[in-house]
Amino acid sequence: MSRDLLTAEAVAEGLNTRTIGRRIIFLPETGSTNEIGIREALNGAPEGTVIIAGKQTRGRGRLKRAWNTPEGNIALSVILYPDMTLLHLLIMAASLAVVHAIETVTGLKAGIKWPNDVLIDDRKVCGILIESDIRSTSVNYTVTGIGINVNIGRDELAGVLTPATSLLIETGKEVSRIDLIRELLSDMDRMYSSLSSGERVFGEWRDRLVTLGSEVRATSVNEVIEGVAESVDASGNLLVRDTAGTL
């Protein structure tokens, strides 16, 4: 299968962003772009540095799960130093930027499963892992890791536990990772620049949540809550009404 030639130069060409993507590091193969992002952030990387991998060998998922990134997918991490009060909006902006980029480049309709999985017709196409270093009341760094299933077939998704899909499966043709990344970085940059007036980001994120109204099993590292996902609050917390009627 032919693949688009992913390089830092190809992504940077014509990219007109204020912060995100001003510095792009491309690694043909690495363990985890989040791992590299954290190391770079601790070494004082400029805000908006993006690390992109052609392939990950130790990709990290939420709740300490592994994330598989074979050749043909997108794995990237963005280093940001937001104000502490904007952290919850960054989570929303990241998933919204993925939704916008997928819709612009492929024409497919995407939704968000709380808090930030991106789905197409109930199947996961993207996962996001934000790793932050918070020192009492300030953010030392955030690394927003985004993994998108792009040009992989059904056989390469075999063994993935949650129902999953890729853009290749949904469109029936290869999708340019370069176009998708450029669109994603531009959109995330636009939202990041206006994060302090967070009203719009929250409202749009809430409107894109496919989770509301459905039965959920919310799993955190040390707790499981079952019930109906009723709403979200302005901080992005999911409000679940359990079987005893407690919110």
Chain residues in the site for ligand BTN (CB under 6 A): 32-34, 56, 59-62, 65, 67, 69, 75-77, 117, 127-129, 145-147
Nearer to ligand BTN, 159 or 245 (CB): 159
CB of 59 to ligand BTN, least distance (A): 4
Nearer to ligand BTN, 146 or 168 (CB): 146
**Distance set, CA 122 to CA 78, 137, 217, 234 (Å):** 26, 37, 15, 24
Task: Give the integer Cα–Cα distance in Å for 53 and 74.
Answer: 7
Chain-centre distance for alpha carbon 49:
16
CB of 182 to ligand BTN, least distance (A): 17
Nearer to ligand BTN, 127 or 236 (CB): 127
Report the run of H or E that residue 144 belongs to, with start and end: strand 138-148
Q: Identify the three-state secondary structure at position 101.
A: helix
CB of 119 to ligand BTN, least distance (A): 11
Tell me which residue has its CB nearest to ligand BTN.
127
CB of 118 to ligand BTN, least distance (A): 9
Task: Give the integer Cα–Cα distance in Å for 75 and 4.
Answer: 15
Whose CA is closest to 4, among 180, 196, 203? Answer: 180
Nearer to ligand BTN, 118 or 229 (CB): 118
CB of 62 to ligand BTN, least distance (A): 4
Nearer to ligand BTN, 21 or 127 (CB): 127
End-to-end Cα spacing for the chain:
50
What's the one-letter identity of residue 100? H
